[in-house]
Amino acid sequence: MYLSRFLSIHALWVTVSSVMQPYPLVWGHYDVCKTQIYTEEGKVWDYMACQPESTDMTKYLKVKLDPPDITCGDPPETFCAMGNPYMCNNECDASTPELAHPPELMFDFEGRHPSTFWQSATWKEYPKPLQVNITLSWSKTIELTDNIVITFESGRPDQMILEKSLDYGRTWQPYQYYATDCLDAFHMDPKSVKDLSQHTVLEIICTEEYSTGYTTNSKIIHFEIKDRFAFFAGPRLRNMASLYGQLDTTKKLRDFFTVTDLRIRLLRPAVGEIFVDELHLARYFYAISDIKVRGRCKCNLHATVCVYDNSKLTCECEHNTTGPDCGKCKKNYQGRPWSPGSYLPIPKGTANTCIPSISSIGNPPKFNRIWPNISSLEVSNPKQVAPKLALSTVSSVQVANHKRANVCDNELLHCQNGGTCHNNVRCLCPAAYTGILCEKLRCEEAGSCGPGSGQGAPPGGCPALLLLPLLPALLGTAGAPGL
């Protein structure tokens, strides 16, 4: 009786926990680059798209402050208590560990009490602006997978800009503006991410949601990555095929979540009033106890491991690729142009493996089985494969030289949409379809698809195809300067 009651309670808890969990802990698999499968010819490699796990990226960054002497404590100075702005007997002294607040305390473990934090000098040089740039650099391209979270110990700034760079700090683009009054500070109407949509997901907004004075429960500023993912994957990020389809086909969207550097521009400290109290300037400063940046190394879906060696992050590339981001083919594996892997079709994706150069091939027996095969496109419904993916998986070398590589067969390399394989060389397609694997509607090539054409779109279930109508709006977004 007790056992059955325990199991019932446990089942209820599991159900409640799953409902309360706002997002799945792991929102992508792709944790294997290749696996061995058995065929009539023995064991062969089956290649898949793959990527490193999402992790805490603050462990690998370098931080830089501008101006470099903006940290308090050199020389020592007093400042007002953050809970009581008129109790001004706290001391910051860089030469005393217990009283020092260096930049690395923005990223340390926050399990101690009292909490540790970086702190700027106070605003004693009024009316000179108290402005600080905090630059976080990885010397590596990374993909953001979770919200950026900044926890302040001082009041949250009245004005702040979060910026990103994709070229190691040479150029910068705004990610989001923060202000107590967006119109006054940045000449922008205030918005929140909830005001955006799939069509405006790349818009750069100014929000007033996080710019209030110091209170016990108002320390945090967010840049909402997951809320933007949710426009495509649903509020609980369950429909990842939809998000992956957009990331695969829309470079601007993919680049939006990709950075090499982040910069926090603190432009005005929390004042709480319209006018600054010039008699109590030690009330005004910035203090940050924690910054969270979660993401993964960008390896172009060609690696599952990113190593940190000699203060540098590098992908351990698979699929015959090489480079810090697996961004090119290895020597002697340039039989077709390099291409990133593809998330689709779910769940294995498409590896787009680099293949041997023609000059290095020779004529080894059964060589066709070590070419990047199309079996990774195989899903329960062959019609789910997007045309772009099918075309990018079959190289021109394979098509031109069928003695070395099969284009199709009836076991692993299926023709789509009812096509049949002819002599392992080409697919014989039904009248309505065309393409190497019968993956494309014939009317699409002629530009005549429509309600009256007699050729409807492929059935539901193809995320990339279903989302294509959204691409013009995304590509033409006007509110995303620099993207």
d(CA 244, CA 465): 12
Beta-bridge partners for 150: 221, 291
Handedness of CA 271, 276, 277, 278 (dihedral sign): positive
Q: Give residue 431's pLDDT.
A: 84
Kindly report, residue by residue over 137-162, the tens digit of the pLDDT.
999 999 999 999 999 998 899 999 99
Q: Which of 71, 69, 72, 62 is nearest to 135 (CA)?
A: 62
Query: What are the DSSP E strand ranges found in 377-437?
Result: 420-422, 426-428, 433-434
Residue 207 placed within a domain: yes
Token reading at 348: 């294995």
Kindly report, residue by residue over 88-128, the tens digit of the pLDDT.
889 999 999 999 999 999 998 766 555 799 999 999 888 88
Compute the average pLDDT of residues 206-218. Answer: 74
Kindly report, residue by residue over 129-138, the tens digit of the pLDDT.
999 999 999 9
d(CA 245, CA 232): 9
d(CA 234, CA 24): 12
Same domain, 101 and 117: yes
Same domain, 321 and 184: no
pLDDT band at 359 (very low <50, low <70, confident <90, very high): low
Task: With H, G, I as helix, E, B as strand and everything else as coil, classify residue 245.
Answer: helix
Number of domains within the chain: 3
Q: Give residue 374's pLDDT.
A: 37
Q: Does the structure show a pLDDT above 50 at 72?
A: yes
Instruction: Compute the mean pLDDT over every residue in the chain, rounded to the nearest whole number.
Output: 78
Same domain, 170 and 279: yes
Instruction: Please report how many Cα atoms fall inside a 13 Å half-sphere around the Cα of residue 464, on the Cβ side.
Output: 21
d(CA 98, CA 100): 6
pLDDT band at 402 (very low <50, low <70, confident <90, very high): very low
Contact 437, 408 (CB under 8 A): yes
Does residue 295 or residue 26 have the better pLDDT? 295
Q: What count of residues does the chain have?
A: 483
Choosing from 358, 379, 395, the residue where a domain stops is: 358
Q: Does the structure show a pLDDT above 90 at 221?
A: yes
d(CA 287, CA 275): 21
Residue 183 placed within a domain: yes
Kindly report, residue by residue over 430-456, the tens digit of the pLDDT.
888 887 777 778 877 666 776 554 444
Kindly report, residue by residue over 11-50, the tens digit of the pLDDT.
444 343 333 334 343 345 799 999 999 988 788 889 999 9
Compute the average pLDDT of residues 267-278. Answer: 82
Phi and psi of 430, rounded to 5°? Answer: -60, 165
Residue 389 placed within a domain: no
Phi and psi of 276, rounded to 5°? Answer: -80, 135
Same domain, 100 and 161: yes
Kindly report, residue by residue over 347-356, the tens digit of the pLDDT.
889 999 999 9
Q: Does the structure show a pLDDT above 60 at 331?
A: yes
Q: Give residue 171's pLDDT.
A: 97
Q: Give residue 5's pLDDT.
A: 53
Residue 304 placed within a domain: yes
Token reading at 62: 């370098």
Print the domain residue range for 342: 27-52+299-358
